[in-house]
Amino acid sequence: QGRIEVLHDNKWGTVCDDELKNPVCRVVCKQLGYSNGTCVKEYNDNNFPIWLGSVKCNGNENNIDECQLTNWGEANCIHKEDAGCICS
């Protein structure tokens, strides 16, 4: 279980929970070697940039880059809205 973090421009950053659905966590968890995942919202503050405001996946993608992403660094949210996953 943990916050979703993505690497962009050699810096780790977070993903907002805007429109976050379980298929996103299935894809994230698949990348980490798990078979399934569910969403967790509202992680606490951190110092990372917020890289993505919204991620939409259908659950069949092999990695998060294949999902529909907002523009990098153009998130309209705060860290209280950071998204996370529980992998199983």
85: exposed, middle or buried (C-beta count within 10 Å: 0-12, 13-18, 19+)? buried
The CATH number covering residue 63 comes to 3.10.250.10
Question: Domain count of the chain?
Answer: 1
Domain limits for position 71: 2-87
| 24-82 pLDDT tens trace | 999 999 999 999 999 887 667 778 899 998 899 999 999 999 999 988 998 888 888 88
The pTM of this model reads: 0.85
Quick count: other Cβ atoms within 10 Å of Cβ 35? 9
pLDDT of residue 78: 85
